[in-house]
C-alpha cells in the first residue's frame, strides 16, 4: 500500500531548498540606498536609447517605489532600480519665471487710497503664481490620476451623495 511522506520532512526540504536558492540569488545582488525627499535623481526611460531624465524625489510611496517630478513637471512613479541618485542641481521651473531682484526694492508701486492708507500694488510674480495654481483646478468632483489626467464625474451624478 502506498504511503505518503511525513508532512514535516516535506516542509523542511522545501524550506531548505528556498534557503539555498536565496543564498545563490543574493550572492550577486546588492541593497540600494534609500532616497529622500528632494534628492536629485536620473530616471531610466522606457526606450533604452533615450537619455535618462533629471528629476526630484517628491516622496516615497512604498519600500522601493518613489514619486518623481521631472524638470518638465511630469510626475512618475518608479521603482528604486530605475532611479540613479546624482549630485546635480535641479532647475526649478517656478524659479525661472521670477526676476532676481533684491527684496529691499520690492515695494515700488505704492498707490494711495481715498482713506489715506497706502496699499502696494499686486506684484506681477504673485499674479503668475496664482495663475499657475488655478490651472490645476481640482475639486472633490475632479481628481488627477497617477498618469496626470484629470477625471471629472458625469453631470448626472452631481446630486449623488456618498
In this prediction, residue 141 carries a pLDDT of 66
- Confidence (pLDDT) at 106: 46
Best CA proximity match to 66, nearest among 35, 89, 88: 35
Q: Which domains does the chain have, with CATH numbers?
A: 1-90 (2.30.30.140), 93-157 (no CATH)
pLDDT band at 121 (very low <50, low <70, confident <90, very high): very low
Question: 145 or 5: which carries more pLDDT confidence?
Answer: 145
Q: Do strands 83-85 and 40-43 pair parallel, antiparallel, or not at all (unpaired)?
A: antiparallel
89-116 pLDDT, tens per residue?
876 655 554 444 444 444 444 455 454 4
Pick the closest to residue 70 from 44, 51, 43 (CA basis).
43
Tell me the torsion sign for CA atoms 105, 108, 113, 116. Answer: positive
pLDDT of residue 139: 62
75 within 8 A of 58, measured Cβ to Cβ? yes
Residue with cell 531682484: 101
Q: Is 134 helix (H, G, I), strand (E, B) or coil?
A: helix
Residue-level pLDDT at 132: 46
Q: What is the pLDDT of residues 45-104, one digit of tens each?
A: 989 899 999 999 999 998 889 999 999 999 999 999 999 999 988 766 555 544 444 444
Which SS3 state, helix, strand or coil, does residue 64 take? coil
Amino acid at each position: 500500500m502506498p504511503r505518503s511522506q511525513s508532512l514535516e520532512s516535506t516542509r523542511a526540504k522545501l524550506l531548505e531548498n528556498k534557503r539555498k536558492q536565496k543564498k545563490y540569488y543574493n550572492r550577486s545582488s546588492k541593497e540600494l540606498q534609500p532616497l529622500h525627499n528632494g534628492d536629485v535623481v536620473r530616471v531610466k526611460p522606457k526606450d533604452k536609447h533615450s537619455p535618462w531624465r533629471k528629476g526630484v524625489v517628491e516622496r516615497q510611496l512604498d519600500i522601493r517605489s518613489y514619486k518623481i517630478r521631472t524638470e518638465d513637471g511630469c510626475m512618475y512613479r518608479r521603482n528604486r532600480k530605475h532611479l540613479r541618485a546624482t549630485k546635480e542641481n535641479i532647475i526649478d521651473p517656478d524659479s525661472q519665471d521670477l526676476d532676481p531682484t533684491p527684496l529691499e526694492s520690492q515695494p515700488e508701486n505704492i498707490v494711495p487710497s481715498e482713506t489715506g492708507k497706502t496699499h502696494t500694488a499686486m506684484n506681477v510674480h504673485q499674479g503668475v503664481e496664482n495663475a499657475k495654481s488655478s490651472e490645476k483646478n481640482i475639486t472633490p468632483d475632479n481628481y488627477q490620476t497617477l498618469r496626470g489626467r484629470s477625471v471629472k464625474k458625469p453631470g448626472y451624478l452631481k446630486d449623488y451623495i456618498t
